[in-house]
Amino acid sequence: MIYAQSPLAVGLFITFVLFVLGLSFFLARRTTSSADYYAAGGQIHWFVNGIAFAGDYLSAASFLGICGMIATAGYDGFLYSIGYLAGWVVALFLVAEPMKRLGKFTFADALDSKFNSKGIQLTAAISTLLVSVFYLIPQMVGAGVLVQPLLGMPHYVGVLIVGIVVTIIVATAGMASTTYVQFMKGGMLLVFSTVLVVGVLGRGLSTSPDQGGKKAYHEFKTLAAQTGTDGSLQLSDSTYAVAADWKTGDLGKAGFVRLTKGGVDSVWKLKETGGGYALSETLFAKEFPNGTKLYNGLPKEQGAFFPVGAVKELRIDGKEVAQTGPLGPIGFLSSVKNSTVTLWGKTIVKESDGLTTVYFQKPTSGAKILRPGLKFKVDNATGTQKFNFMSLMLALFCGTAALPHILIRYYTVPSQAAARKSTIVAIAAIGFFYVLTLFMGLGAMTNGVINLNDENMSAPLLALSFGVVLFSIISSLAFATVLGTVSGLIVAASGAVAHDLMDNFLGMKMTDRNKVLAGKVAAIVVGCIAIYLGIIFEGMNVSFLVGWAFAVAASANLPAIMMILFWKKTTAQGVATSIVVGMVSAMGLILLSPDMWALYGKLPANAPISFNSPALVSVPLSFLSLVVVSLLTRKAAVPVAVEAA
């Protein structure tokens, strides 16, 4: 086991949950009108709202996913940080103040403010629901993933805990309680991530990271070998036995060899040298047809699947050293750049008795780690690979300012200036956090803490290397991260159902009190759906679903917002069409993509399209459809100016 359950983490999480539930019940007494429920009365201070933006936005994908990706793939993980932050520029310069000026409770309000169109009300509500649900699923799955190693409970318990707590938070005081939960979570995330980074810099870099003297790093062995006259493999260490079919077996064909010592299997990577072979030790997990799994030839509890991540050659001022001592942030990055770090490649080998996943060492220069290209193919890339990269960066840039749970936060402040200022606080807080992700990720990469079976746990495991207290705080924060983001999404989704569909689209006449009740019932229903989806999507790669949410939001929502604000010839039909075209094209392209083909159990090469990221097609298509339909329907359109309520 790489990590064990921490009672302190459980205690901190329960304390946090009890506190936010108490706060929610307290705020519920002040939540009497629909403006209170959906927009926290529009009276939240811009600084609180700005940090709450950070709490809303820094989801499990940001905290766990980006740190984990940087830890295993270097700079390519940091590309997400850059892209996500860049999206806030779109939000500040183009969207913040107009959203505050035009809307009331939901994203659909702002789109429909000039038109009073049933088409916009329906399509915008569906788009909000779709994006919110796609964003909810990975958060709920993430909750289940977290609860298993940290609390020792099954996946569905984590999903249930988060689902029930969040539904209570939202159903009691709506946006008011949600805002303060996010404010606390956002603030704590910034503080303790800073503490973690200070620890990483204080520890510096070492070729034998021992977690501050607590745990020695496993030294991965290398063996020499020759081929005998009978074709057998003769090792320099005769205590190992070699399988007879070492060259012709499934592992041999993939470039590996299985050795046995003391009845325990190990897998080694074969590399031809002048007249012989060099064998380097790997980590491997074997899954048998009956579901049994062995890690490095032993059950998981034996702890043979070592944590990894170390500098191989450390150079300071051109000289090779064993450790650096404390470093400043710039010195830390320079030292990584000038050194060589052992990264890990992954190969899955199908054998007759099961599936073997082999992780092998890949010494990589720091300069290569600190530039794009280890995860996303950019060197000597094909046109499709370049297209994929650009499309991803476009989706990150455009997606943020189109996420419904982010947009509705503009309604919680009292003025347009407050909307602007809260966005600037968000940029400062989120930008600062994303800078920290590079240090946390590289810290995990070089401190011998990575669990190659689950890179998402890199940040909590890095914290564990500094002691159980920091680990417990970071782990409970990871839960709080899910709580904060899910609560924002449920408010957005309940607003789409109760306010956009029931009140506006269907024209159901409700008193203000009943509007609040409808919102609360909608929140409970959405919460139940989220719990259900979180359970049935167990094991689904969460990054797929986050990618869906960003791509759909960027394609369906952003063109509509931008054109309403900046093109006077925009018509209601054009807006509704662009939302539908953006939604359908983004979803359709994702469903036909090679990555999805692999999920269907088919060959990715046989997928109808060759790219995975749809934004570079679906965003322009959505813009184009809005322009064409608006021009075609221009004469018939009679915009209705609606005064502020």
Partner 1 sequence: MGHGPAVKLGEDKASGYKAKLGMYLFVLYTLAYVVFVGISVLQPSLMESAFMGQTLAVAYGMGLIIFAFVLAIIYNRFCSRAEQRLNN
141-170 binders of partner 1 (CB under 8 A): none
Using CB under 8 A, pick the residue from 230, 301, 317, 379 that binds partner 1. Answer: 379
Residue with smaller CB distance to partner 1, 89 or 164: 89
Sequence-ordered list of residues with C-beta below 8 angstroms from that of 198, at least 6 positions apart, any chain: none
CB of 130 to partner 1, least distance (A): 22
Beta bridge partners of 226: 234
Size of the site for partner 1 (CB under 8 A): 73
CB half-sphere exposure, 53, CA atoms < 13 A = 38
506 binds partner 1 (CB under 8 A): no
Residue with smaller CB distance to partner 1, 56 or 112: 112
411 binds partner 1 (CB under 8 A): yes
CB 457 within 8 A of CB 451: yes
Using CB under 8 A, pick the residue from 2, 51, 90, 168 that binds partner 1. Answer: 90
Residue with smaller CB distance to partner 1, 37 or 180: 37
CB of 169 to partner 1, least distance (A): 20
Kindly provide the b/e burial profile for residues 355-365, where b requires at least 16 CB atoms within 10 angstroms of the residue's own CB: ebbbbbbeebb
Residue with smaller CB distance to partner 1, 463 or 523: 523
Residue with smaller CB distance to partner 1, 288 or 566: 566
Beta bridge partners of 266: 259
473-502 binders of partner 1 (CB under 8 A): 499
d(CA 593, CA 102): 37
CB 575 within 8 A of CB 634: no
94-133 binders of partner 1 (CB under 8 A): 94, 97-98, 100-105, 109, 112-113, 116
317 binds partner 1 (CB under 8 A): no
Residue 284, Cβ density class (10 Å: 0-12 exposed, 13-18 middle, ≥19 buried):
buried
CB of 331 to partner 1, least distance (A): 9
d(CA 272, CA 451): 29
CB 577 within 8 A of CB 115: no
359-378 binders of partner 1 (CB under 8 A): 367-368, 370-373, 378
Residue with smaller CB distance to partner 1, 121 or 172: 121
Residue with smaller CB distance to partner 1, 430 or 580: 430
d(CA 552, CA 476): 31
624-643 binders of partner 1 (CB under 8 A): 642-643
Task: Specify the 3-state DSSP secondary structure of 139.
Answer: helix
CB 50 within 8 A of CB 421: yes
Task: Specify the 3-state DSSP secondary structure of 115.
Answer: coil
CB of 606 to partner 1, least distance (A): 26
CB of 416 to partner 1, least distance (A): 6
Give the alpha-carbon dihedral of 149, 153, 158, 159, to 10 degrees.
Answer: 120
CB of 373 to partner 1, least distance (A): 6
Residue with smaller CB distance to partner 1, 49 or 211: 49
Residue with smaller CB distance to partner 1, 86 or 157: 86
- The CB density around residue 413, as the number of other CB atoms within 10 Å, is 26
Sequence-ordered list of residues with C-beta below 8 angstroms from that of 509, at least 6 positions apart, any chain: none
422-451 binders of partner 1 (CB under 8 A): 423-424, 427-428, 431, 434-435, 438
515-554 binders of partner 1 (CB under 8 A): none
93 binds partner 1 (CB under 8 A): yes
Using CB under 8 A, pick the residue from 154, 204, 414, 620 that binds partner 1. Answer: 414
d(CA 232, CA 245): 9
d(CA 64, CA 459): 6
201-260 binders of partner 1 (CB under 8 A): none
24-63 binders of partner 1 (CB under 8 A): 35, 38-39, 41-43
- Please state, in angstroms and as integers, the Cα–Cα distance from residue 71 to each residue in 439, 449, 623, following that order: 9, 10, 37
CB of 283 to partner 1, least distance (A): 28
Task: Give the amino acid at 632.
Answer: L
Residue with smaller CB distance to partner 1, 211 or 412: 412
Using CB under 8 A, pick the residue from 8, 21, 82, 598 that binds partner 1. Answer: 82
337-356 binders of partner 1 (CB under 8 A): 337
Structure tokens at 552: 């759909």
CB 493 within 8 A of CB 522: yes
Residue with smaller CB distance to partner 1, 289 or 328: 328
92 binds partner 1 (CB under 8 A): yes
| Run of H or E including 197 | helix 155-203
d(CA 157, CA 447): 32
